[in-house]
Amino acid sequence: MKLRPYQTAAIESAIQALTIHGSAVMQMPTGAGKTRTATEIVKQHKKPVWFICHRQEIERQAAKAFTAAGIDFGIVSPRGKPEYDKPVQIVSVATLTRRINDLPLPSLAIWDECHHVAAKSWSAIREQLNGAQNLGLTATPERFDGKGLSEWFGELVVGPSTRELIDGGYLSDFRYFAPSDPDLASAKMQAGDYKKGDLDKVMNTPVLIGDAIAEYRKNADGKRALVFCASVDASKALVDRFNSEGIPAAHVDGTTPTDERDASVDALASGNIKVLSNVEVFTEGFDLPAIDVVILLRPTKSLALFLQMIGRALRTAEGKCEALIFDHAGLWLDHDWFDLPIEWSLDGGARQRRLAGRKHGPRRCPECKEVRVEREPVCECGYEFPTGSEIGECDGKLTELRRAVPSGCETREAFSRRIGCARFAMNRWISKGMPLCDGYVPIEDAKEWLKENPPRNMRPLFVDDPSEYESQKAFARRIGTYNSQVRLWALSGVIPCAKNGWIHIEKALDVVNSMRSNKIAKPKTKKKEKKRVANGSEIKADFARRIGVSFASVTLWCRNGLPNDCDGNIIIDDAIDWVEANTRTLIKVNDLTETQRSFEKRLKANKGMAYSWAARGMPLDKNRMVHVPSALEWVRENAKIRIPPDAWPPDSDRKQKPQPTAA
């Protein structure tokens, strides 16, 4: 797979940072291809190299990427037999803590999901690798408690934002639905996030579960959805309700056997189930682009966890126009608008600065109950928001969050309706350079771009009457000529057409009728005399008929070495030998005459026996072709081989041609 431009830039920056500081963190949003980027760094770096991960899903993902890149690697984990002599090792953190002395220390250690490095087992390994270069990979380079990673890494390489990847066509666009706000007042905090036991009490309620099913039916019925639940009991209760409503669903958690978990993922990918609910399984290292919907039923203060959950639906897939995000956990209250550039820092404190200066996070108006992304001081209904944090009332229904549309812009859906094109066509134009403004389409600039880059597969835009035009192929059918003729007229300016090549029907018909009425008959020319063909040669068409193949096959063979003279005529004997040696074609001229190799196959004889029989007197014609009846008679009298009964042609065929003389 070819590297994307931002991946190439990230590789160059990461290698430079490793050279200067010895350690660095490479940040990229979920779905940007961190593993693919790391694979290229592994290929370029001197060995040995360790790729350190902590989940089975990440281990599989890395193994798949290394295999595709042709990297020779071993796996050190509880799930595989170690091969310590391999130059590249995919190592599990849990296994590495016990076997680190069994492996040769690396020159480069790549830490996937490196925001976990503060954990005791991770940091103990990191201390033993101070002599190596260390590269961290993560979408969120900060700890769950908001502290930085400067104690373990020296420099931060920041990749593109989620919005830049969406506008570039590398991630799917999305629609975000904000819900009723769960009452989390009773949930206590632990290590910077909500306690799991308290979340179970808050989120495992019939009201929230019912809302999740109702909103799925309303906005995403039939689409493949991944659900993040706060507890196993809540997840199982949700799955039971989905199944009782006739929506196939399954549950997985950390105790689910691997084969059962894989079967559930395959069932979701194939569409056999529509909903897969999980508890802390698919937050990291999970890649299934076919997911259309993410349902969030797990509150968290962790921006990293929030972005990881949303990122499961943002990967692109064939036929997928946009992702749907149903936020039943009220995460929109705690986190900034996720597709905008996010401030990151290895020194820590970035989270507090983001929350203190938050300008883009959504909030709900307590008067009109509308939820808006842009944090304007005054709502459209006239309500003035107080300063500080607000706690909005809720009405129990999801509301789609929409950011304020910049002046002179409109959404992609609105612009596609304006010009009368399909929604997916917009994505293709954007990938080719059509301008965007904060994810919206600037109307006039987009029109100018389309005038300069008119789509060739649709009627001309911005003309008085598009119905006056038709494609070159349709116009060729209209006047009964070849497509190539109409294309030539359009390119040379003979017939009027739009900039994208579509033909103006009425004006073009006038031109064609004028050409036909003024056409002067050309004088008849003498037919060219046929070139004389030398003895032992014949033209391609005759040779094709001789051996029973198409003319196109003979032409192709001529390009690949079929013997022919300077005039392009086929040298018969040499050509037949070439065909038998270089193709699988079974040459059979007719029921009575065939090549020596075909005669051997008729008798089920070894290759070369017909040649020896011919040397001993087996009858051949002037082209050294075998006359089957005469040759079979000779073989019966002179060769010690059993002739199969089906090798003899019918008696009626024997009398059609005279016996040839022996060659």
Q: What is the per-residue pLDDT for 149?
A: 85
Question: In the predicted model, what is the mean pLDDT of residues 437-454?
Answer: 84
At 198-228, the pLDDT tens digits run 555 545 554 465 578 888 888 888 899 999 9
- Tens of pLDDT, residue by residue over 619-660, are 887 667 788 888 899 998 888 888 888 888 876 344 434 444
Sign of CA dihedral 214, 215, 216, 218: positive
Q: Give 272 or 183, the one with higher predicted confidence.
A: 272
Q: Say whether pLDDT at 394 is over 60.
A: no
Question: In what order do the strands lie in the sheet containing 49-53?
Answer: 73-76, 88-92, 49-53, 108-112, 133-138, 23-27, 156-158
Q: Which has more pLDDT, 375 or 506?
A: 506
pLDDT at 490 over 90: no
DSSP H stretches of helix in 175-231: 196-203, 206-220
With bands split at pLDDT 50, 70 and 90, how would you rate the model's confidence at 663? very low
CB-side neighbour CA atoms (13 Å) of 57: 14
Task: Name the phi and psi angles at 428, rounded to 5.
Answer: -65, -40
Q: At residue 411, what is the residue type?
A: T
- Per-residue confidence (pLDDT) for residue 655, from 0 to 100: 40
Place 433 in a pLDDT band, splitting at 50, 70 and 90: confident
Q: Percent of the chain, pLDDT > 70? A: 79
Whether the pLDDT of residue 393 is over 70: the answer is no
Tokens of 298: 């797990």
**For residue 179, what pLDDT is reported?**
59
CA angle (533 as vertex; 529, 535 as ends), nearest 5: 155
Note the residue count of the chain.
663
Predicted TM-score (pTM) of this structure:
0.56
- The confidence score (pLDDT) of residue 82 equals 79
Q: Which of 178, 171, 227, 223 is nearest to 204 (CA)?
A: 227
* Cα gap 436→224, rounded to integer Å: 29
Flag whether pLDDT at 396 surpasses 60.
no
pLDDT digits (tens, 9 = 90+) for 76-109: 887 667 788 888 988 988 888 888 888 888 899 9
Domains of the chain, first to last: 5-160 (3.40.50.300), 165-340+362-401 (3.40.50.300), 405-453 (no CATH), 456-515 (no CATH), 539-654 (no CATH)
Q: Give 216's strand partners.
A: none
CB 365 within 8 A of CB 383: yes
Exposed/middle/buried for 57, CB within 10 Å: 0-12, 13-18, 19+?
middle
